[in-house]
Chains A and B, each alone.
Chain A
Amino acid sequence: MASKAKKVKKPTTLNEKIFNFVVYGLSILLILVIIYPLWFVIIASFSNPADVASGAVWFWPKSWSLKGYQVLFQQPLLWRSYFNTIFYTLAGTAFGLLVNIPVAYALTRKDLLGRKWISLLYVIPMFVTGGLIPIYLVTKNFGLLNTIWVMIIPFAVSPYNIIVARTFFQESIPEGLWEAAQVDGSGTIRYFFTIVLPLSKAILAVIGLWTAVGIWNSWFNALIYLTNPNLQPLQLLLRQLLIMNQTLQTQTTGAMASELAQTSQMMQYASIVISTLPIMLVYPFLQKYFNQGVMVGAIKE
């Protein structure tokens, strides 16, 4: 509550005024630099592609056109892959939390046998990975290739997230709490669900959001492990549309090259908008958890 009461001090000396002026000026500049590309993508998506390529569009849409969106929404697999992405994101995030959070908590418990060694086992793959081909073969041998599970199960465990969550548990949940709970007759499981988790909403939100954004934006796993177009996520579909014309000029002769190039160019900006918007809308709702920060004063020692 203390932070709310703090008022911005009015600048008194000239020196301070200049300092404030420079700081505000730079911040505004920085904000503009970050916002402009986003703004450009949005206006470009509503403009005639010819004007975008010729540089006529720079601040306001020119010759309004919804053609990009129109062509995009005509893509037969767009809705299907939109649905897939949402499903992978929801299921993948839930599964990610399910596997990472309990591990992170377990690793904070001093009574876990071989705690250090288990921690080490999680840390090693962060630095040394098997490489694409061995992982591909393992995935294949598990029969996960070309199933929805390949997007959810194999890459759910994230050592990085585990370490972050572990640190959170260590820092903000005092050990005394566990002893107090034991005195009141609670077992580990009950303690974890009724005390630890409710106190850790912030870290759940943070890890959840990281996982969700990661899955939402990922295309490489889908590219490698999925062949069935009905299973592909949105990002993979959009990537195909976007890079369609890169190599076409040399590879095709005839009418097909230009036909494909036109389609892809019209859809570029529109597809960026439709793929980024939903995940950006999630941020404000989770913002409060980020602000809430670590819990203070849950227990008096």
Chain B
Amino acid sequence: MKNRKITIGIGAVTVLAAVTLLTACGSGQAKGNASNTTNKNFTVATDRWADWGTDFEKFPNQLAKKAGIKVNWDVYVDANWADKKATILSSGNLPDVFMGSNTFTDQQIAQNQNDFIDLSKYINEKDMPNLMKMLKDNPEIKATITSPDGKIYSLPKIAPMRPTIANQLFINQKWLTQLGLKMPTTYDEFVNVLEQFKEKIPGSIPYATGNWDPVFSYILPFNNRLGAAGTNGMELYDGKVAWAYDTDEYKAGIEAMHEAYAKGLIDPEMFTETTTQAQNKMMATTEKVGVAAGWTADANFGANAKDYVALPALKGPDGKQYVMSDPDHFNQSRNEVLVTTHAKNVKALMKWLDSFYTEDASIQNYYGEFGVGTEKTADGYTVLKPTGENSADTQAWINSLRDFGPKVWSEADNSKVTYQDQNNGDALKLKMDATLKQYALPAFPNVQYTNEELNTIAQVYQQLSAYATQMQAQWVTKGGVDKDWSTYESKLKAMGLDKFMKIQNDAYKRYEKQVNK
């Protein structure tokens, strides 16, 4: 038996040796590519909301061909992106470019700053004429992308054909007609209409959760203009920076909302239900909802959309009309392109990226290339009708980078674009926007923070917002905002509200300075 033992032993050792060898080969192979300036192949990673296929790559690839480079896409679906991102970053297996402002937040960029390169030295008249023109025409964009130390880590966008106003309220026109009611124009009339809905329509929910913050949508007539998501609840009143959850306007609004709640006008499940439940109320076969906030009626109410119309901007107690608007955040952004340290021959890459900043390229990157999503006409562009079962929105997402990626546009160019389908998606929103945008007031701009500031915000804000929203739910449902207000304010202070506000004020001052430079 002895020699058999040895044979098996030798076998095991051979296998081990083979495995070790293989490992060695593998790692050697990975490091072959030294730095060079003739590289023409680039990997671009991007994050999409859903799997819409690869058609969106076609137009950017055309641009790449013109710029003399080749682009390989790593497309991640949003559901997987967070996990993937962590692995990509920690393993150092970086692509050359991350495209889309949904790939990284400011905080994440700050945390991984060593992975991204400063682009400012590549941005000059000779190499990037289109981008230079954009920055000259829009000084606020330059302020948006320049970090406090003067470096530029990302490229910006201004999206075409975007409305000034954001989400807003929609009201059940069928019920109004049925009950013989006039469209409300003031807050008091609005409450009256809700009361009528409550009394005369059995089983109705006069005011329900829509696809946007239901509390701030309700208290808007008290001049509570909450900015877009991601702005940490910042507001701007006559050039003064304020936190939306700590103003007299907010207090007055919450008090009024509690009165309405006590009368049974607000959905009692507002603070406990899931998104799905709220959505199903809006789309129920027997219509249940009187008023809810969202982007367009068809997005909120599905098959019931024909019964809902946009509520005009209500006159608040101060006699003024307000709308939610935040074009700086919705329509313009930084972080649309991030170049990593992995990229070789960045100059060639930037030539490609610069070609995104033309009108022709922007419209095609937003609705789809000529002949597919758009068409060039004698005096501008036409956005084509969606094909098959797609909505206008899905159609655009399938064929273009849509909301993400570099783009440029000026408001004046909006008149050049026509829509084949007038009652869908962007066309519908822009129609609504035309009547409401006169009430839009400036919102807190897209400021840049230092890394230190970002860290402090990350530490402080979580607590502040958790406490504020918790109190908000309590005040709306049980009342007592007046009684609790001073305790509330002192508790916010203890949680670091002063520190937070100082950062916001500093950042805003820096931004103003950069814009006026």
Q: Which residues of A contact B (CB under 8 A)?
A: 48-50, 53-54, 63, 76-77, 106, 111-114, 118, 132-133, 136-138, 140-143, 188, 223-224, 227, 229, 236-237, 239-240, 243-245, 247-263, 265
Contacts and interface: CB of A to CB of B under 8 A. Distances in A.
Interface residues of B, number: 62
Among B79, B275, B276, B299, the one with the most A-chain Cβ atoms within 10 Å of its Cβ is B79
A138 B19 CA distance: 12
B393 interface: yes
B26 interface: yes
A128 to B, nearest CB: 19
B49 A248 contact: yes
B378 interface: no
Interface of B: 1, 4-6, 8-9, 12, 22-23, 26-27, 29-30, 49-51, 53, 74-80, 83-84, 87, 90-91, 93, 102, 166-167, 211, 228-230, 274-277, 279-281, 283-285, 294-296, 298-300, 302, 330, 391, 393-394, 397, 403, 425, 429
Contact of B87 (A132, A236, A260): A132
A263 B30 CA distance: 41
A165 B405 CA distance: 54
B295 A243 contact: no
Contacts of B211: 249, 257-258
Contacts of B283: 50, 262
A229 B75 contact: yes
Contact of B78 (A137, A244, A258): A244
A113 B298 contact: no
17 contacts: A77-B51, A106-B8, A111-B4, A132-B87, A141-B27, A143-B26, A223-B84, A237-B51, A253-B330, A255-B295, A255-B296, A255-B299, A255-B425, A257-B299, A259-B299, A259-B394, A261-B275
DSSP majority for the A interface? helix
B87 A224 contact: yes
Contact of B277 (A54, A138, A236): A54
Nearest to B391: A259
A252 B393 contact: no
Given A50-B284, A259-B391, A111 B229 contact: no
B177 to A, nearest CB: 25
B27 A254 contact: no
Given A50-B285, A114-B12, A259-B299, A141 B280 contact: no
B93 A140 contact: yes
Contacts of A76: 51, 53
B78 A113 contact: no
A53 to B, nearest CB: 4
Nearest to A227: B74
B157 to A, nearest CB: 15
A275 to B, nearest CB: 16
A34 B446 CA distance: 52
A255 B410 CA distance: 23
Nearest to A219: B80
